[in-house]
Amino acid sequence: MKISGLTVCALASACVLAGGAVAQEMGDGTFELPREVVSAATAFEHYMASAASVDPGFSSSAGVLRSLRTAASYEPAQLEEGMIAYGAIAALQDDAYVAGVERAAGRGDEREAFAERLIENPFAATQIDGAPGAARRIESALAAKAAPLVSAGARVKSAAYSVQRQAWSQVMVSDAQGRLAEVKILSASRAAPSEDDNQALMQMLAGVDPRTAANDAPAGYGAIEARALALAAEAVIGRAHGADRDRLSPLFTEADSAQCLRMAKLNLYQCMAVAGPEYEDIYCMGQHALYDTGQCVSEAAHGSPRSWAATLAARPTDGGGSAAPMAARHTLRISPN
């Protein structure tokens, strides 16, 4: 693997390039995605990794606040876009799918018409030769990010009970409204990864062992998988330059996953709004900021969304140090935008 300036070449079906001139019509193995889209994928990866590393061994109010900041630091729309882009980059490592897209797209005006059909109906991408293997890569990549976050959420939620043996955890949060306001600000702020961060992500995904993706065809395609496949196809046929960002926007969101992430945030806010002592904020963090968010990604990866009706969080009862649970709930170029 050679890294030179803003160029990263991997011994796989992807060689990652950043910055520079726009790639021309396909045929040279060079694909392109808008910088903002790659940045969303990088933000997704960074959030999932950092939030999954939240340590449940709380020992002070300051530690709770630090962990809350980490757990809440994603903007739902960017995380969803990043999840889809992350899956698309994984799909671009599948040679069979890339070849299938080239055959399906045709040449000249056919490519433009094909690109527009993918925007109108992302599930058309699931009919392309090689789609099953690429979808397995998407599912594997997203599931590998979701599982640690779900586990971290469960550990933090459990800590909300065990920590009550420590006196500091029974103390009311000194500036509960200020803490909640900060969480809301963090939740509305889009991450801005550096070029080096973006290149590191591309290099990492280009180096994923293809054997980690199962060969069996998926039982069915979820909406997120379809959009990731469609976005990857747009890159293969040369219709995912920086100038295409707005045209591609229908591929960056899907009703169920968008609602899921919004509800995770809403339930976090509601939970914190009715919380009192520190251990209750730990519960809110574990259940809603971490576990619920991880479940959103997991369900998107496996194509099994559930209903996301908003639920107000009930405040746990104080009693003998045990609280009742709160209810909730090839070659890829980064194109300048």
Segment 199-227, tens digit of pLDDT: 888 877 776 655 545 455 555 789 999 99
Tell me the mean pLDDT in the region 252-256. Answer: 95
Question: What is the tens place of the pLDDT at every residue in 184-195?
Answer: 999 999 999 988
Q: Is the per-residue pLDDT at 5 higher than 50?
A: no
Pairing of strands 30-34, 7-9: unpaired
Return the higher-pLDDT residue of 77 and 27. Answer: 77
Give me the residue spans of the domains in the chain.
Answer: 2-329
The structure tokens listed for 7 are 């160029």
> Residues 89-124: pLDDT tens digits?
999 999 999 999 999 998 888 999 999 999 999 999
Per-residue confidence band for 334, with pLDDT thresholds at 50, 70 and 90: low
Helices (H), the chain: 35-52, 61-72, 76-91, 95-105, 109-120, 131-162, 176-187, 195-206, 223-236, 245-248, 255-274, 278-284, 293-302
Q: What phi and psi, each to the nearest 5 degrees, are found at residue 335?
A: -85, 135
Higher pLDDT, 26 or 335: 335
Per-residue pLDDT tens for 156-188?
A: 999 999 999 999 999 999 999 999 999 999 999
pLDDT, tens only, 265-307: 999 999 999 999 999 999 999 999 999 999 999 999 876 543 3
Q: What is the pTM of this model?
A: 0.83
